[in-house]
Amino acid sequence: EGFERGDAGLVELTTLTEYDTKYPFAILFPPERPSTNLARTVSEAGLKQFHCAETEKYAHVTFFFNSGREQPYAGEARQVIPSPRVETYDLKPEMSAPEVADSVIDALNSNQYGFVVVNFANGDMVGHTAVPDAVVRAVEALDREVGRVLDAAVANEYSVLLTADHGNCERMINLETGEPHTYHTTQPVALFVIGDGYRNLRARGKLADVAPTILELMGLGQPEEMTGESLLK
């Protein structure tokens, strides 16, 4: 028959994280933005840098890469390449990888930049479609275009760190359900250091170790705020 409900007199509401800046509630785990990052460290060392991606991943090499900062640092140049206008990227698996590679190669050949960062979108965006033939074409395109960038980097005496933050293309079918596997995988990803002679790397690492590794390759000091460790032995 139920019971009579009274006014509980809500005293306080706390959220786990910040869902919207307009909410007045207390937050248990407010967003944190690092006081420094790789791009800032490079800039403060007086070096120029070049950040490049196509539209789908442009934020990943600018806003996200720079710890939520929209404004470029001093000496930071940016190039966005338009992504293809298609409904889904299995229709254009190559995406804009050739144009992204062209832009990065021009930057490398200019010898203006002490640091260059590029994000190729194909593996993630085409991988999400889980269309096997398209994913194969995407990986083949990446192989060609990343290869061209590596050739230019080595020719201009750059060291290259090649890695990813998650997998996708290596699994197209959910092994339990038989359905298309359209989401990220959780296996460890590879990391390669190319173009600066043979180097021993630690067998396992984490994303926080990538920036310290780059800084060591560049001969720059690691800020105290960076908690990762260089992967170079």
Give the tens place of pLDDT for each residue, 13-70.
Answer: 899 999 998 999 999 999 888 889 999 999 999 999 999 999 999 999 999 999 999 9
Residue 126, CA distances (Å) to 95, 120, 169, 173 in order: 9, 11, 8, 14
Average pLDDT over residues 159-169: 95
Residue 88 token pair: 């889904």
Characterize the bridge pairing of strands 49-54 and 160-163.
Answer: unpaired
Residue 21, CA distances (Å) to 29, 31, 65, 71, 203 in order: 14, 11, 22, 21, 41
What's the chain's average pLDDT?
A: 95
Q: Is the pLDDT of residue 9 over 80?
A: no
Comparing 196 with 69, which gets the higher pLDDT?
69
DSSP character at residue 193: E
Q: Is the pLDDT of residue 198 over 90?
A: no
Per-residue model confidence as pLDDT tens digits over 97-130: 999 999 999 999 999 999 999 999 999 999 999 9
Residue 101 token pair: 């590679």
Task: For residues 117 and 60, give the distance between their C-alpha atoms in angstroms, rounded to a whole number.
Answer: 10
Instruction: Kindly state the helix (H) or strand (E) to which residue 101 belongs, with its residue range.
Output: helix 97-110
Within 10 angstroms of residue 209's Cβ, the number of other Cβ atoms is 20
Q: Is the pLDDT of residue 196 over 90?
A: no
In total, the chain counts a number of residues equal to 233
Task: For residues 13 and 18, give the distance between their C-alpha atoms in angstroms, rounded to a whole number.
Answer: 13
Task: For residues 12 and 14, give the distance between their C-alpha atoms in angstroms, rounded to a whole number.
Answer: 7
Task: For residues 87 and 50, give the distance between their C-alpha atoms in angstroms, rounded to a whole number.
Answer: 30
What are the residue boundaries of the structural domains of the chain, listed by start? 37-218
Q: What is the pLDDT of residue 78?
A: 99
Measure CA 201 to chain center: 21
- Of 9-13, 137-141, 219-223, the poorest mean pLDDT is in 9-13
Q: Is the pLDDT of residue 96 over 70?
A: yes
Residues paired with 191 in a beta bridge: 163
Q: What is the pLDDT of residue 33?
A: 85
| Nearest of 152, 107, 100 to residue 121 by alpha carbon | 100
Task: For residues 145 and 135, give the distance between their C-alpha atoms in angstroms, rounded to a whole number.
Answer: 15
User: Looking at the whole model, is its pTM more than 0.85?
Assistant: yes
- Look up the CATH superfamily of 37-218: Alkaline Phosphatase, subunit A (3.40.720.10)
Task: For residues 38 and 226, give the distance between their C-alpha atoms in angstroms, rounded to a whole number.
Answer: 9
Task: For residues 55 and 206, give the distance between their C-alpha atoms in angstroms, rounded to a whole number.
Answer: 27
Instruction: Kindly state the helix (H) or strand (E) to which residue 42 belongs, with its residue range.
Output: helix 38-44
pLDDT band at 1 (very low <50, low <70, confident <90, very high): low
